[in-house]
Structure 1
Amino acid sequence: MSIGNSPEDERPFEDVSDEARLSVGRALQQARIAAGLTVDDVSNATRVRLPIVHAIEADDFAPCGGDVYARGHIRTLARAVALDPGPLLAQYDADHGGRPAPTPAAPLFEAERIRPERRGPNWTAAMVAAIVAVVGFVGFTAFKGEDDGGSAAVAEGATPSAGTSATTKPKTEKPEDPKPEPSDSAIAAAPQDKVTVRVSAADGESWISAKDHTGGLLFDGLLKQGESKTFQDSERINLVLGDAGAIQLYVNGKKIDDKWQPGAVERLTYTKGDPQAG
């Protein structure tokens, strides 16, 4: 027995290499801390989402979505924290049943084989359709020619009567001209047994009202500038002029020269014989 050493110090060293070995996530975490980086720094630098970085450092590879993606994330994170990704990938494969097998190429070639072939245009069907169209057009043309010939023969042999000519255009009836207002000469030739009054809005518009000797209304409305109205009665015409200054009067063919003021309202009565305001 050695002096100064206890029995515990003399026991043989145990092989604790497997227990002392760091896991993949722990190795990445320690390397990140040693590099002075936060999880946010690593996530921003590698574009690996923050929850996945946390899960990998906790040796939870389920959020990666499969071994292929997990190996890719381990390689990316190892390079970001200055670690060799080779030993970490080998350790991950040993812990998870080996490296994933490559995707077989047979399904790709199978999918390529079943892709439908591109066919060219069906020229036979196109030629048949063209022939049918030509034959139909020729037949239609021949039938139309015979029909036109028969019509021409009928047209040459028949002599249409003058009263039933198909080409004669119907006469368009000329619209009747509106009856003109009586002129000064017409007023002058008015019957002597009646009173005739013509009202003309020469200098502006004016409201007028005209009644016969029985009180019957002949006109009641606005007479616009340039318009005229003529009234006749067997005995008497009663007038009301809303703006007498804008009106010219002709009574029994003679012009009334009264100087009415603009805007003046005049009530007038005219009878047979010489003009005389009632």
Structure 2
Amino acid sequence: MSIGNSPEDDRPSTSSEDDRPSIGQTLQQARTAAGLTLEEVSAATRVRIPIVHAIELDDFSRCGGDVYARGHIRTLARAVAVDPAALVEQYDAEHGGRPEPTPVAPLFDAERIKPERRRPNWTAAMVAAIVAVVGFVGFTMFTGGSGDKGSKQVAEGPTTATKPAGTTSSKPADPKPSTPAASDSAIAAVPKDKVTVKLSAVDDKSWISAKAHNGKLLFDGVLAKGASKTFTDPQQVDLILGNAGAIQLFVNGKDVHNDFQTGQVERLSYTKGDPEAG
């Protein structure tokens, strides 16, 4: 017997103030009406068959939490042409609603990875030292060839020596100053007057939510493995990562290294400038 046509008697009873069907009934009826099997829905959404079957039985325990449950409901609803917003609203009403948002700035300050100390630019220092040595050697060879005391006195100190008539003094050219180290090209390439955040799902898919500084929703859904999303805002970008361990994060053109774990939920917030400064 196909598990896609389970009898409604096996479905757990749900109590609501109206007569609307449950979330699982709505998804199952829409799938059946569209002529799709569980296997076809699973292949289209990349949600495993046991989870699709459990959701159609109104069993959300396999989803791994409310965040993933909402993400699965949205994905399955789009696959069977059902309004995902209405089903998510029904889920929140039946499961106590969404939790109160945590203040982003204090949470981010507590969880942000401390930036590493900037190491000295040894390359620039070595170049400067080599230029100084070459200049000093050239100066010594130039002034030491004459062999007279006047020349030695000029080389050894600032005292002015008496010079024979008709002689002219030559001044060695000053060594060229070392070239300062180039700035980070990745940071220089992004707009200075905006926040730019790029997310790449490297190891696995992840549900993400991104909002602008005024609360406008920029994206809310599943980022497939290998896919990337870029968000910009004049002031601030707020993020929620459902599977933070799978995400590689670039903020204002800079790779933000993290030690997030697979399945870990993270709330982050970024503004203009160096993401690791301060």
TM-score by length of 1: 0.35
TM-score by length of 2: 0.35
Greater RCO (CA < 8 Å, at least 6 residues apart): 2
